[in-house]
């Protein structure tokens, strides 16, 4: 089997995962890998095993993230702003839980 480059492992396809960079052949985004690895403290081995990925996929996603850091972080901030705006525009109809403690 021939080794794949980062460009072959990480793809962006309009209409799939919102066009976000993702693992080729999967709907798992670079953002998901970064979240699991950096914020939830999962190891690359744990992520690969949990999601049936190759270890090289995990490291390709992390390398992609670090080489596109500013672009990705800006995109993620814009996504968060959109979510907050939608929450304000369409508030939940469910009652907020009361703190009984």
Nearest residue to 86 via CA among 75, 78, 74: 78
Instruction: Assess if residue 85 is contained within a domain.
Output: no
Q: What are the tens digits of pLDDT across the range 13-40?
A: 999 988 899 999 999 999 999 999 999 9
Which CATH number fits the domain that encloses residue 48? Answer: 1.10.10.10
Instruction: Assess if residue 99 is contained within a domain.
Output: no
- Examine the pLDDT at 10 and tell me if it is beyond 70: yes
Instruction: Assess if residue 88 is contained within a domain.
Output: no
93: confidence class by pLDDT, cuts 50, 70, 90: confident
CA distance 13 to 24: 10
| pLDDT score at 39 | 92
Give one DSSP letter per residue of 68-96, joined into a string.
Answer: THHHHHHHHHHHHHHHHHHHHHS--SSPP
Mean pLDDT of 69-90: 88
CA distance 49 to 44: 9
Instruction: Assess if residue 82 is contained within a domain.
Output: no
What is the total count of domains within the chain?
A: 1
43: confidence class by pLDDT, cuts 50, 70, 90: very high
- Examine the pLDDT at 100 and tell me if it is beyond 60: no
Instruction: Assess if residue 101 is contained within a domain.
Output: no
- Examine the pLDDT at 101 and tell me if it is beyond 70: no
Instruction: Assess if residue 38 is contained within a domain.
Output: yes
Instruction: Assess if residue 94 is contained within a domain.
Output: no
The parent domain of residue 49 ranges over 6-68
Nearest residue to 3 via CA among 66, 50, 68, 60: 60
Instruction: Assess if residue 98 is contained within a domain.
Output: no
């Amino acid at each position: 089997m021939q080794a794949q480059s980062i460009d072959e492992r990480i793809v962006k396809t309009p209409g799939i995962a919102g066009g976000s960079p993702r693992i080729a052949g999967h709907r798992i985004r670079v953002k998901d890998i970064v979240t699991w690895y950096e914020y939830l403290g999962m190891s690359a081995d744990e992520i690969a095993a949990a999601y049936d990925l190759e270890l090289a996929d995990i490291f390709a996603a992390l390398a992609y993230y670090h080489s596109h850091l500013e672009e990705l972080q800006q995109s993620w901030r814009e996504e968060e702003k959109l979510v907050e705006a939608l929450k304000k525009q369409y508030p939940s109809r469910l009652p907020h839980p009361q703190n009984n403690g």
